[in-house]
Amino acid sequence: MSITSPLSSLSVKQMFDRDSCTYTYLLIDPKTHEGVIIDAVKEQLERDLLCIEELGIELLYSIETHVHADHITSAGSIRQNTGAQIAYSQSAAIKSIDVQLNDGDDLIIGEHRIKAISTPGHTAGCMSFYVEGMVFSGDCLLIRGCGRTDFQQGSSEDLYHSITQKLFSLPDETLVYPGHDYNGRTCSTIAEEKQWSPRVGQGKSLDDFLQIMQNLNLALPKKINEAVPANTNCGINFRPDAYIHEAFSMQSLYKVWRQHEECQPNEKSNNILIVDNRTTEEYSVGHVPRSLNIPLGTESQHLQALKNHNHVYLYCHSGRRSQTALTHLSILGLSNITCVSHSGFPEWLELGFPIER
């Protein structure tokens, strides 16, 4: 679908990935044919490249609003095919990108200036992009909603301030183009969201917002274990076999543990390591026998030990802390990590597996 803002001569194409409900945007300067793509999806690479070719677009940038957890980006492949530079927020700490953006930086296409606005909260490195009466808000502000904040260094407090202080300070008529919509809506305005967003509309307080966000109880995205590590490398050179997908449960961990226990001591040395990402207090009450306690946030102090094992398995209480630790470690370059991301130690107990105190 092609759209334009009354304030802009920029041509904008909004495209959709049905599987992840992601919007990808192509912004084109009609005079120079220079363009950018925002949040391109791996499965839609052919569609996007064809469109770029048919319209004769000289693609200057492949922009990512953040490290996505629900789909793999095609930014790396788009760069290989078109020569576009990959632009990301500096605070997303992504390897092998071309342009590191800070709050207020501009990307220029033809006569148009796309302004990067740092809008952390959904993830710590989220950015929105404003150009001539339109804001591409990624997963910060969605239509009648906002991104979740329960993993990838998310913060509900930061998200509230990003929306209410940064995006809501844009002119009311600004068109809002989100990173996703799950209900078939394509576009909103700042005025509409100020009025009708059930999470932040009608002047909702930070306390109201925190209350709402704490009670969302969402399941983790299906593809998080492959998408996050892949996206920290722009979707390229990704070895899916290095990561185990959603089916990796505490039961799977038990099988790994059992095998390890059964092999001879001389075979064990650097084979596998099971890591408990809970707090020291939780760990001391009971844990997987011979697991190593690395509370979330301290994993960089144990890098060498983690690198010294062929494979490292992470678990915690519910899977969220392990998932976050996996993200940190993959950013630090480790590819030997698997995590139990949909359950945790309570399941180990329930299943009657041995514990150590």
Q: How far is the CB of 121 from Fe ion (least distance, A)?
A: 11
With CB under 5 A as the contact rule, which of the stretches 30-38, 67-75, 201-209, 344-352 interacts with Fe ion?
67-75
Q: How far is the CB of 69 from Fe ion (least distance, A)?
A: 6
* DSSP assignment of 269-338: TTSEEEEE-S-HHHHHH-BSTT-EE--TT-GGGGHHHHHTSSEEEEE-SSSHHHHHHHHHHHHTT---EE
Q: How far is the CB of 281 from Fe ion (least distance, A)?
A: 32
123/159 Cα distance (integer angstroms): 9
What distance separates the 2 farthest-apart alpha carbons in the chain?
72
| 39 counts as binding Fe ion under rule CB under 5 A | no
At 79 the three-state DSSP class reads helix
| 149, 121 contact by CB (below 8 A) | yes
Which residue's entry shows tokens 């329960």?
Answer: 150
**Which of residues 140 and 273 has its CB atom nearest to Fe ion in the complex?**
140
**Which of residues 68 and 342 has its CB atom nearest to Fe ion in the complex?**
68
Task: Tell which positions 166-205 bind Fe ion, by CB under 5 A.
Answer: none
CA torsion sign for 30, 32, 33, 36 is negative
Closest residue to Fe ion, based on beta-carbon distance: 139
At 349 the three-state DSSP class reads helix
299/288 Cα distance (integer angstroms): 18
Q: How far is the CB of 347 from Fe ion (least distance, A)?
A: 27
- String marking each residue 278-317 x if it binds Fe ion according to CB under 5 A: ----------------------------------------
**Which of residues 139 and 299 has its CB atom nearest to Fe ion in the complex?**
139
326/54 Cα distance (integer angstroms): 40
With CB under 5 A as the contact rule, which of the stretches 134-142, 259-267, 269-277, 337-345 interacts with Fe ion?
134-142
**Which of residues 139 and 150 has its CB atom nearest to Fe ion in the complex?**
139
Q: How far is the CB of 180 from Fe ion (least distance, A)?
A: 7
Helices and strands of the chain, counted as H and E runs:
12, 19
Q: Binding residue for Fe ion (CB under 5 A) from 17, 34, 64, 139? A: 139
**Which of residues 22 and 82 has its CB atom nearest to Fe ion in the complex?**
22
**Which of residues 232 and 291 has its CB atom nearest to Fe ion in the complex?**
232
- String marking each residue 230-259 x if it binds Fe ion according to CB under 5 A: ------------------------------
Q: How far is the CB of 126 from Fe ion (least distance, A)?
A: 8
At 191 the three-state DSSP class reads helix
Phi, psi of 171 (to 5 degrees): -55, 145
Task: Give strand pairing partners of 38.
Answer: 25, 63
∠ CA 62-63-65 to the nearest 5 degrees?
A: 155
Total residues binding Fe ion (CB under 5 A): 2
**Which of residues 28 and 224 has its CB atom nearest to Fe ion in the complex?**
224
**Which of residues 139 and 276 has its CB atom nearest to Fe ion in the complex?**
139
Q: Note the residues at the interface with Fe ion (CB under 5 A).
A: 68, 139
